Structures are given as structure tokens and as C-alpha cells.
Amino acid sequence: MATKTGIDNIRVVLVNTSHPGNIGGVARAMKNMGLSQLYLVGPKRFPADEAVWRAASADDILDNAVVTETLDEAIEGCGLIIGTSARERRIPWPLFDPRQCGEKVQQESSSHPVALIFGREDRGLKNEELQKCHYHVHIPTNEEYSSLNLAAAVQVVSYEVRMAFLAQGQLDRSVIRDWDIEPASNKEMEHFYGHLESTLLGTGFIDPATPRQTMTRLRRLFNRIRMDKMELAMFRGILSGIDKLTK
Ligand code: SAH
């Protein structure tokens, strides 16, 4: 079980940030809103003076930042994973606006770690990264100019998280908060998808010559369902049973 609770259970994850100044701006935005857990996945340049300058008095957040090589490491153990996107993607995903995101994050962070993932300045998050997420969040900007500066995007989302915490007590209890079993972790889900794909190849349901979007759609389905650890173990057992028949 997670030892942290509430607002300390929320990770802001920045993927492959190019400009260290933006990392500092994010640290400042987070500290203003009471968030503290910063994860940096393969930053281009960090530590860096520009980050410290832009962080102002939030340099403690930079000092405590966790640097990882992969996104999977940064979101490991998180029961709720939310990715941000400045534009529409080809296969639509369950989508929040920042307010709904803040409420969801507030509700679930008392039970398990939550990740809010932000992308590269030039290209945002890759599809394979967005497909690890239970939900996406889009800040409803001017459609003709939809992309915010990275630190500005973190500011908007973390402001809504703070507002949801301030309104705490007036919100509905989410179903998952009172759940009996812990949610499956990202690592367990990635093993599960690997197993599912190999089973579906074994049955001939996926044709390796024309895989199309099958795994993407199945990832979206399971991210909507959000299996707990026991449900996942049952599913793995079912797949192993099918594997025996198709061997
Ligand atoms: N050109 C990129 C934009 C990247 S902006 C693209 O098309 O995806 C850098 C990051 O800031 C994004 O990955 C996202 O995390 C965040 N961001 C910027 N604008 C946003 C918006 N309107 N809604 C949600 N996140 C946004």
C-alpha cells in the first residue's frame, strides 16, 4: 500500500523536456498549488542553472525531483494515470477537462499514487505513451492555437487539483476509492498486454501481417475498465488456459 496520501500522492511527470527553464517553471507552478512530487523522464538537460532560476523559491522541488530513463519507471505503482494532450488523437480516449481531472485526482489520491503526464515541448506525448493512460485531459484552448507552454499547462491542471482539494468533502465518493482490492499497476498491465497479444496471435485473432489497431483498441478498453489486481490475475489465468489449447 502507498505510504503517501492526498496531495503528496500526486506525481507530475514530464517526458523528455527540452528546455530546463520549463522544468523550473513547472516546479514553481506545482509549489504554488501545493504539489511536490516531480518526475523527469529523460530530460535533455538537468540539473541546470536555468531550471533553478525559473523555479524561484521552488528549488526544493527540483532537488527532490526523481529522474528516470523510462515513462514506465516514473508511473510505476500509480493506480490512476492521466495524460495531457494539446490536440485530438486518431482514436478518441476517455477525456476530461481540467476541472473533471482535478476532482478525479483529488478523489483517488487518498487511495493510491496518481500520475499526471505532460509531453515534449515540440511533439507532446507519443501515442504509445498516451495509451498507457486511463484518461486524457485537454485544456479547452482556442482551436486555432491550442498548445500552451508546458509550465502554463501544468499550472492550469494543478490549479484545478488544488481547487478540488479546497472543495473536499462536497464531492461524491468515487467507486474506486472504496474498492476492496488495489488497482493493477502499470507494470502488471504491460505484462498483461504482452500476454494478451501473444495469446491473440496464437489463436489467429491478430494477424501479424495486418495487426491494425487491435491492441490500441484493447488497451483503451482495459483502461476504461481499470482492473484490480485480482481481476488481472483471473484474466492471466484465462489467457494461460487459452494458450494451452492453442499450443
Ligand atoms: N506540439 C505539441 C504540443 C506540446 S505542448 C503537440 O501537438 O502535442 C507541451 C505539453 O504541454 C503537452 O504535451 C501537454 O502536456 C501540455 N499542453 C499544452 N497545451 C495543452 C492543452 N491545450 N491541453 C492539455 N495539455 C496541454
Could you tell me if 148 and 191 lie in one domain? no
Q: Has residue 169 got a pLDDT over 80?
A: no
Ligand 1 neighbourhood includes 87 CB (under 6 angstroms): yes
Q: Calculate the average pLDDT of the chain.
A: 93
Range of the domain at 131: 6-176
Task: Compute the distance from residue 186 Cα to the ligand 1 centre, in Å.
Answer: 23
Average pLDDT over residues 116-123: 98
Could you tell me if 170 and 191 lie in one domain? no
Ligand 1 neighbourhood includes 18 CB (under 6 angstroms): no
Task: Compute the distance from residue 111 Cα to the ligand 1 centre, in Å.
Answer: 28
Per-residue confidence (pLDDT) for residue 177, from 0 to 100: 58
* Count of domains observed in the chain: 2
Could you tell me if 99 and 194 lie in one domain? no
Q: Has residue 136 got a pLDDT over 60?
A: yes
**Which of 138, 148, 160, 161 best tests ligand 1's pocket when mutated (most atoms within 8 Å of CB)?**
148
Could you tell me if 218 and 168 lie in one domain? no
- C-alpha dist (Å) from residue 244 to 200, 216, 237, 238, 239: 13, 25, 11, 10, 9
Other CB atoms within 10 Å distance of the CB of residue 30: 24
Residue 60 counted as domain residue: yes
Q: Which ligand 1 atom lies nearest to the CA of residue 137?
A: 24
Ligand 1 neighbourhood includes 86 CB (under 6 angstroms): yes
Task: Compute the distance from residue 199 Cα to the ligand 1 centre, in Å.
Answer: 36
Place 3 in a pLDDT band, splitting at 50, 70 and 90.
low
Q: Has residue 91 got a pLDDT over 70?
A: yes
User: Concatenated DSSP letters for 27-69?
Assistant: HHHHHHTT--EEEEES-SS-S-HHHHHHHGGGHHHHHTPEEES
Q: Has residue 6 got a pLDDT over 90?
A: no
Task: Compute the distance from residue 90 Cα to the ligand 1 centre, in Å.
Answer: 16
**Which of 85, 97, 101 best tests ligand 1's pocket when mutated (most atoms within 8 Å of CB)?**
85
Q: Has residue 161 got a pLDDT over 70?
A: yes
Give the DSSP H/E element, type plus range, for residue 149.
none
Q: Which of 19-23, 25-29, 148-152, 164-168 has the lowest mean pLDDT?
A: 164-168
Place 172 in a pLDDT band, splitting at 50, 70 and 90.
very low
Q: Which of 94-103, 178-187, 234-243 has the lowest mean pLDDT?
A: 178-187
Task: Compute the distance from residue 237 Cα to the ligand 1 centre, in Å.
Answer: 39
Average pLDDT over residues 69-80: 97
Could you tell me if 157 and 204 lie in one domain? no
Ligand 1 neighbourhood includes 125 CB (under 6 angstroms): yes
Could you tell me if 41 and 61 lie in one domain? yes
Could you tell me if 132 and 209 lie in one domain? no
Three cell numbers written together for 6: 492526498
Ligand 1 neighbourhood includes 158 CB (under 6 angstroms): no
Per-residue confidence (pLDDT) for residue 2, from 0 to 100: 41
Determine if residue 68 is left, alpha or beta; phi over 0 gives left, psi from -120 to 50 gives alpha, anything else beta.
beta
Per-residue confidence (pLDDT) for residue 5, from 0 to 100: 67
Q: Has residue 170 got a pLDDT over 70?
A: no
**Could you read off the pLDDT of 182-241 as tens digits, one per residue?**
999 999 999 999 999 999 999 999 998 887 899 999 999 999 989 999 999 999 999 999
Per-residue confidence (pLDDT) for residue 211, from 0 to 100: 75
- Domain CATH code at residue 26: 3.40.1280.10
Final residue belonging to a domain, choices 156, 176, 196: 176
Position 211, amino acid: P
CA dist., res. 161 & res. 68, Å (int): 24
Query: For residues 119 and 91, which has the higher predicted lDDT (pLDDT)?
Result: 119
Residue 94 counted as domain residue: yes
Bridge partners, residue 3, by sequence: none
Q: Has residue 90 got a pLDDT over 90?
A: no
CA dist., res. 188 & res. 232, Å (int): 8
Average pLDDT over residues 124-129: 96
